[in-house]
């Protein structure tokens, strides 16, 4: 059978059951094209002079890398004229980005983390881009921050791109998870991983162990039990991985199972976690759920949290169902 490119997959999906409107298909195609441009810069690295600090900070007070800024600009440029988004929001920008007056506005709100895991750029380890697509509320022509504050359950599409040994785009529209590998010679994403599923049980976990002393008691208990191996209450040995790129960790979990944790941290009690609900928590929770996994903030389903601000933080526990149920159960006690 001939290869199924992302374009063909999207067109066939649109024809099949009408669940993928034409303008949403166009939005995904545009996002995929932009990711190829980001991929090009990521691959060139030092050859294109794109490594290192940009010398600026983002709204969260984090130092921006040159590639954070480049990826953000590529995404704004690619999407502003296409007619599908009504507005955009980015982890790297304080306020929503409004579509310039000369271009038509569409029905969607596009949110993104332009370059996730950017601490890995300069050391040549995988990074990624995460998107979440929401519907613009009916009758709103100039979306404000409040219009973006929808729970994850209202998402209509989410792709992420992983710039790793292979560049992949993985997406869901709410009917399963499908992975495409970038064929560099042909310049197209090709369906290589249809119907990705997260195994229910696992022997692998991911957490930044250096923060252990700052975690809440339920997380300490859970991880201590994993570390106890065959002698502990879990009765099996667990393996640990930490890439420091959430996209890479979620991709590993979608491929062979596991649990990823970024819990709340006692060093900054005002922050409910490090990762961002709208750009990281919600889209990754949805894709994990769509593949049969589960994602909570320790206490509740991430996707049911009502956001109160665009750059809200959240604790995240996405992964294989069995493990997420156990660690979530410990929080309830």
Residues of each annotated binding site: 91, 113, 115-119, 208, 274, 280
Burial 197-214 (b: 16+ CB within 10 A, else e): ebbeebebbbbeeeeeee
Does residue number 244 form part of the binding site for ligand AHM (CB under 6 A)? yes
Q: Are the CB atoms for 145 and 307 separated by under 8 Å?
A: no
What are the φ and ψ backbone dihedral angles of 23, each rounded to 5 degrees? -75, -25
Q: Which residue blocks in the chain are alpha helix, DSSP H?
A: 6-17, 22-44, 66-80, 145-148, 217-227, 246-256, 282-290, 321-332
From the list Mg ion, ligand AHM, none, pick the one residue 227 interacts with, judged by a Cβ distance below 5 to 8 Å according to partner type.
Answer: none
From the list ligand AHM, Mg ion, none, pick the one residue 41 interacts with, judged by a Cβ distance below 5 to 8 Å according to partner type.
Answer: none
Burial level of 37, CB count in 10 A (0-12/13-18/19+)? Answer: middle
Does residue number 214 form part of the binding site for ligand AHM (CB under 6 A)? no
From the list ligand AHM, Mg ion, none, pick the one residue 244 interacts with, judged by a Cβ distance below 5 to 8 Å according to partner type.
Answer: ligand AHM
What are the φ and ψ backbone dihedral angles of 158, each rounded to 5 degrees? -150, 115
Interface positions, 302-331, toward Mg ion (CB under 5 A): none
Number of residues assigned to the chain: 333
When binding is defined by CB under 6 A, the residue of 24, 171, 246, 285 that contacts ligand AHM is 246
13/120 with CB nearer Mg ion = 120
When binding is defined by CB under 6 A, the residue of 245, 296, 320, 328 that contacts ligand AHM is 245
Does residue number 129 form part of the binding site for ligand AHM (CB under 6 A)? no
From the list Mg ion, ligand AHM, none, pick the one residue 208 interacts with, judged by a Cβ distance below 5 to 8 Å according to partner type.
Answer: ligand AHM
Q: How far is the CB of 262 from ligand AHM (least distance, A)?
A: 6
Interface positions, 101-130, toward Mg ion (CB under 5 A): 113, 116
Interface positions, 92-121, toward ligand AHM (CB under 6 A): 113, 116-119
Distances (CA, A) of 192 to 3, 69, 231: 9, 30, 40
Q: How far is the CB of 179 from ligand AHM (least distance, A)?
A: 19
Point out which span in 27-35, 38-46, 241-249, 298-306 binds ligand AHM (CB under 6 A): 241-249
Distances (CA, A) of 288 to 70, 319, 324: 28, 7, 11
From the list Mg ion, ligand AHM, none, pick the one residue 261 interacts with, judged by a Cβ distance below 5 to 8 Å according to partner type.
Answer: none
From the list ligand AHM, Mg ion, none, pick the one residue 119 interacts with, judged by a Cβ distance below 5 to 8 Å according to partner type.
Answer: ligand AHM
Q: How far is the CB of 278 from Mg ion (least distance, A)?
A: 11
**72-78: long-range contacts, CB 8 A cutoff, minimum separation 24:** 72/114, 72/115, 74/34, 74/37, 74/38, 74/41, 74/114, 75/31, 75/34, 75/38, 75/112, 75/114, 75/129, 77/34, 78/30, 78/31, 78/33, 78/34, 78/37
Does residue number 80 form part of the binding site for Mg ion (CB under 5 A)? no
Q: Which residues pair with 65 in a beta bridge?
A: 53
Letters for 273-292 (x = contact with ligand AHM by CB under 6 A, - = none) are --x-----------------
Binding site for ligand AHM (CB under 6 A): 62, 113, 116-119, 208, 244-246, 262, 275
Binding site for Mg ion (CB under 5 A): 113, 116
């Amino acid at each position: 059978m001939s290869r199924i490119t992302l374009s063909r997959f999207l067109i066939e999906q649109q024809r099949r059951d009408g669940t993928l409107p034409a303008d949403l298909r166009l939005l995904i195609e545009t996002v995929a094209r932009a990711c190829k441009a980001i991929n090009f810069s990521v691959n060139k690295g030092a050859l294109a002079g794109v490594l290192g600090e940009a010398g600026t900070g983002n709204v969260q007070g984090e130092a921006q890398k040159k590639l954070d800024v480049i990826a953000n600009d590529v995404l704004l440029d690619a999407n502003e004229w296409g007619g599908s988004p009504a507005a955009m929001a980015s982890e790297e920008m304080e306020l929503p980005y409004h579509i310039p007056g000369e271009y038509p506005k569409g029905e969607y709100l596009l949110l993104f983390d332009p370059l996730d895991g950017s601490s890995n750029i300069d050391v040549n380890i995988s990074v990624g881009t995460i998107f979440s697509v929401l519907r613009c509320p009916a009758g709103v022509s100039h979306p404000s921050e409040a219009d973006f504050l929808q729970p994850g359950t209202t998402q209509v599409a989410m792709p992420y791109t992983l710039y790793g040994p292979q560049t992949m785009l993985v997406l869901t529209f709410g009917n399963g998870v499908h992975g495409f590998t970038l064929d560099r010679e042909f310049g197209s994403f090709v369906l290589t991983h249809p119907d990705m599923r997260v195994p229910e049980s696992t022997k692998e976990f991911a957490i930044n162990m250096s923060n252990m002393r700052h975690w809440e008691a339920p997380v300490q208990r859970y991880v201590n039990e994993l570390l106890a191996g065959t002698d502990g209450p879990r009765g099996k040995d667990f393996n640990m991985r930490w890439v420091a790129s959430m996209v890479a960790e979620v991709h590993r979990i979608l491929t062979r199972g596991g649990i990823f944790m970024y819990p709340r941290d006692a060093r900054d009690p005002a922050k409910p976690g490090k990762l961002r609900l709208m750009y990281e928590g919600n889209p990754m929770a949805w894709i994990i759920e769509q593949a049969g996994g589960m994602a909570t903030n320790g206490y509740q389903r991430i996707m049911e949290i009502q956001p109160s601000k665009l750059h809200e933080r959240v604790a995240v526990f996405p992964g294989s169902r069995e493990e997420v149920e156990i660690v979530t159960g410990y929080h309830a006690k």
